[in-house]
Amino acid sequence: MPAVGRKVTRKEGKEKVTGTARYIDDIQFPGMIYGRTVRSSIARGSIASIRHRLPKKEFTVVDYRDIPGKNVIAMIVQDQPCLVEKQVRHQEEPILLLAHENRETLLKADVKIEYKKLKPLFDPEKSKKSFKKILIEKGSIQKGFRTADTIVEGTYHVGHQEHVYIETNGVIAVPEKDGITIYGSMQCPYYVHKSIMALLDLPDDKVRIVQVETGGGFGGKEDYPSVIAAHAALLALKSGRPVKMIYDREEDMVATTKRHPGRMHLKTGLKKDGTITAMEVDVLFDGGAYVTLSPVVLSRGVLHASGPYRYDHIRITGNAVMTNTAPNGAFRGFGAPQTQFATEVHMERIAETLGIDPVKLREKNALRSGDTTATGQKLGKDCSALTVLKKAVEKSNFRKKRKSYAGKNKGIGLSLFFHGSGFTGIGEVMLASEASLELTKKGARILVANTEIGQGTRTMLAQIVADALGFPYDKIEVSEADTGLVPNSGPTVASRTCMVVGKILQRCAAEMKKKLGKMTPGAYLKKHGPLVITKKYEKPPEIIWDEENYRGHAYGTYGWGCDVSEIEFDPDTYEVRPTKFTAVQDIGKAIHPVQVVGQIEGGSAQGVGYALLEEVVMRDGKMANASLTNYLIPTTKDTPDFDVVIVENPYRHGPYGAKGVGEMPIDGAPPAVVNAIRHLNLDVRSIPATPERLMEAPCISS
Ligand code: MOS
């Protein structure tokens, strides 16, 4: 029986439900001690003095002078120090590291730091330091605006968002004979590997990174584990003992990355019938104190700022700037939720302004096969914008409810969106991912660096391999993501694992199958000895990308989605209750339909939270509401009933036609929810749309 398309048992499911799965804080090593980070309490300035009286015999104390290699967290640009030398650029910036046998004593240890303060900058509009600027241009907007009957213009804002993975960041660093091993909760073992090599000045084979069972990531464990791993490694090297560092929720919230806040300005030229003649978009992202991943987050942001619409004349400008808060980083969607929120609320405002049905407006302008995107990418048959729109409207009974909800404190709104799968442009070529498949006595073992972080990686990859080999699913094992064992198959990000890594494994399996012929694995191993097949990513020939001018194939393919949100509104408290949510999403092929529904429901719920509840309050550049009693995420009681419809329009270069599914679901929910609120005649253009904000929202002129 084929495994693909079936709800097979999760590879690590039993361990998780029975509580035997071991997360980083469950793991002990002989002689292990605990590590802690001493952080800045100002947003900008320099260190004047550091004083403490910690007994040398008991405490290990590390500062920047203990770093054997470069004092840097090696990511895209090497601007972020591992430990502050003199200049502080944000609150809670790491300055000193402490380790002790006893966790309580460690927490009580007192270090006094005096500063020379400088005036911090928190407003991205006023920042003069740009991390990255991008321009996308197609046609001539001047020309397009000249033929317009009307212009609709507006500014839209989104705030920070905290990942709130169930398990906070944590690692254990174990000193080895002239090297180091780091175990931890993470998405990308080879990212950590690269940054530890630079920090400790160690060669490849002296650094080993092992991902252990990980309780969620959502992008928050894409870049940050490189920081906490660096700290634990320094303490381990100096003390000569294994060092465990686990953040509590508060430290995780104040010190680690968040989603980039954004300000989007949109200006659209239109014919009376709703045909778009020109589109101008300006995107500003707040990067925080260091570059980290801001350039690539901005890139994906501007590439999705067009929404899934056709334009002859469009100009998109983007800028990611520095401010004095903790750096913002990767978060599910990676810039696309920010910009598509603006585009979809703007589309709603266009429909309101022109008095056109919101579905008709989108139908008229949606991308079709054969159209080109803002970067000039010609879309093939794998374009489903109209299909998902039509299905979502039918399935939710949108038109009828749109009429019947009026005047009843109920609202219904929709959003149309898309999401590029995999790294941008020729990013996958640069990554040059490698995956391996090893023949075992009973079947095969998958060797990849891609991590299971709750989304179902191990299961989904095993399904692909099982069918490609013609073996039963339970004969396929998945190796630990341990850089000592697996090749670098790239990071677990960008909705790439299934489409990109799954495809490489499918090719490995096809070759293995050919080699085996009619032999059983056992017989083959006996006769020929071990068999490991390794393959590299192969670029589909049509992908041509000009990074300089942002022209060409931004992504190999796109997923397409249409969400319909229904809400109830309390006119006394201004609370919004999301009641029903219809999500229709084309992901090429659902390798595991239950996991796919889980991703779509989970991503949508996270998007509903982003739209209504999740507000990061910054005070003096520090998250002031760093606890789950003050930073609210949706519980089951705040989550609507979901109706998920999977559309399978295959991508010919994906395994069994699969595209990505991890990120797209969070793009659609925020604008769908806000457009449902707009249906109540409230002019909301920013999220989170908290009751306080709604109370101040003007009416949409009637
Ligand atoms: Mo992701 S936000 O590409 O980890």
Each residue's pLDDT tens digit, 492-544: 999 999 999 999 999 999 999 999 999 999 999 999 999 999 999 999 999 99
Task: Give the model confidence (pLDDT) of 547-597 as tens digits.
Answer: 999 999 999 999 999 999 999 999 999 999 999 999 999 999 999 999 999
Q: Retrieve residue 409's tokens.
A: 């404190």
Task: State residue 702's pLDDT score.
Answer: 56
**What's the CA gap between 298 and 285, in Å, rounded?**
7
**What's the CA-to-centroid distance between 74 and ligand 1, angstroms?**
17
Structure tokens at 187: 């998405």
3 state DSSP class of 562: strand
Cα of 219 vs centre of ligand 1, distance in Å, is 4
329 lines ligand 1 (CB under 6 A): no
Q: What share of the chain is helix, strand, coil (3-state, %, to 5)?
A: 30, 25, 45
Residue 194, SS3 per DSSP: helix
Contact 618, 160 (CB under 8 A): yes
CA of 67 to the centre of ligand 1 (A): 29
Read off the pLDDT of residues 299-347 as tens digits, 9 standing for 90 and up. Answer: 999 999 999 999 999 999 999 999 999 999 999 999 999 999 999 999 9
Closest CA to 341 of 564, 15, 12, 666: 666
* Predicted TM-score (pTM) of this structure: 0.98
- What amino acid is encoded at 518 in this protein? K
**What is the tens place of the pLDDT at every residue in 7-66?**
999 999 999 999 999 999 999 999 999 999 999 999 999 999 999 999 999 999 999 999
Give 605 Cα–ligand 1 centroid separation in angstroms. Answer: 17
- Over residues 614-628, the mean pLDDT reads 98
Atom of ligand 1 nearest to the CA of 222: 4
- Nearest CA residue ID for atom 4, ligand 1: 219
Shortest CA distance to 265 belongs to which of 349, 323, 328, 325? Answer: 349
For residue 659, give both structure tokens.
Answer: 């595209």
Give the distance (Å) from ligand 1 centre to CA of residue 658.
Answer: 18
Residue to probe by mutation, ligand 1, list 76, 163, 332, most atoms within 8 Å of CB? 332
For the CA of 493, the closest atom of ligand 1 is: 3
User: Taking residues 625-630, what's their average pLDDT?
Assistant: 97
Question: In which element (H, E) is residue 98 found?
Answer: strand 94-100
CA of 496 to the centre of ligand 1 (A): 10
| 76 Cα: distance to centroid of ligand 1 (angstroms) | 15
Position 71 pLDDT exceeds 60: yes
Question: pLDDT tens digit string along 171-194?
Answer: 999 999 999 999 999 999 999 999
Task: Give me the chain's average pLDDT, please.
Answer: 98
Ligand 1: atom nearest CA of 221 is 4
Question: What is the structure's pLDDT at 688?
Answer: 98
- Looking at ligand 1, which atom is closest to the CA of residue 220? 4
pLDDT at residue 60, rounded to an integer: 98
Instruction: Yes or no: say if 554 and 423 are a contact pair by the CB < 8 Å rule.
Output: no
| Residue 655 near residue 411 (C-beta atoms within 8 A) | no
Tens digits of residue pLDDT in 473-502? 999 999 999 999 999 999 999 999 999 999
CB of 689 shorter than 6 A to ligand 1: no
CB of 330 within 6 A of ligand 1: the answer is: yes
Q: Which atom of ligand 1 is nearest to the CA of 330?
A: 2
Q: How far is the CA of 331 from the centre of ligand 1 (A)?
A: 5
Tell me how far the alpha carbon of residue 518 lies from the centroid of ligand 1, in angstroms. Answer: 42
Q: H/E/C letters for each residue in 245-275?
A: EECCHHHHHHHCCCCCCEEEEEEEEECCCCC
Structure tokens at 656: 């069994």
Which atom belonging to ligand 1 lies closest to the Cα atom of 495? 3
Q: Is residue 334 within 6 Å of ligand 1 at its C-beta? A: yes
Residue 332 in contact with ligand 1 by CB distance below 6 A: yes
Which ligand 1 atom is nearest residue 663's CA? Answer: 2
Which of 299, 334, 338, 610 for mutating ligand 1's site (highest number of atoms within 8 Å of CB)? 334
CA of 663 to the centre of ligand 1 (A): 8
The per-residue pLDDT for 481 is 98
Helical ranges in 563-592 per DSSP H = none
Whether 77 has a pLDDT exceeding 70, the answer reads yes
Q: Please answer whether residues 339 and 300 qualify as being in contact, where contact means their C-beta atoms are separated by less than 8 angstroms.
A: no
Q: What is the pLDDT of residue 701?
A: 73
CA of 200 to the centre of ligand 1 (A): 26
* pLDDT 10s digits, 676-695: 999 999 999 999 999 999 99
Q: Are 41 and 48 contacting, i.e. CB atoms less than 8 angstroms apart? A: no
For the segment 270-286, what is each residue's pLDDT rounded down to a tens digit?
A: 999 999 999 999 999 99
258 CA distance to ligand 1 centroid (A)? Answer: 12
Distance 222 CA to ligand 1 centre (A): 6
Q: Which residues pair with 209 in a beta bridge?
A: 182
Q: Given the CA of residue 491, which atom of ligand 1 is nearest to it?
A: 4
- Nearest CA to 173 out of 202, 207, 205, 219 is that of 207
CA-closest candidate to residue 629, choices 608, 647, 613, 610? 613
Kindly state the tokens that stand for 49.
């003095």
Give ∠ CA 74-78-83 in degrees, rounded to 5. 75
**β-bridge pairing 262-270 and 276-288:** antiparallel
- Report the DSSP beta bridge partners of residue 316: 136, 281
| C-beta 187 within 6 A of ligand 1 | yes
> What tokens were used for 340?
């598509």
Tell me, using a 6 A CB cutoff, whether residue 331 lines ligand 1.
yes
As a whole number of angstroms, the distance between CA 66 and CA 63 comes to: 6
- Residue written as tokens 């989304």? 455
Q: Is the CB of 419 under 6 A from ligand 1?
A: no
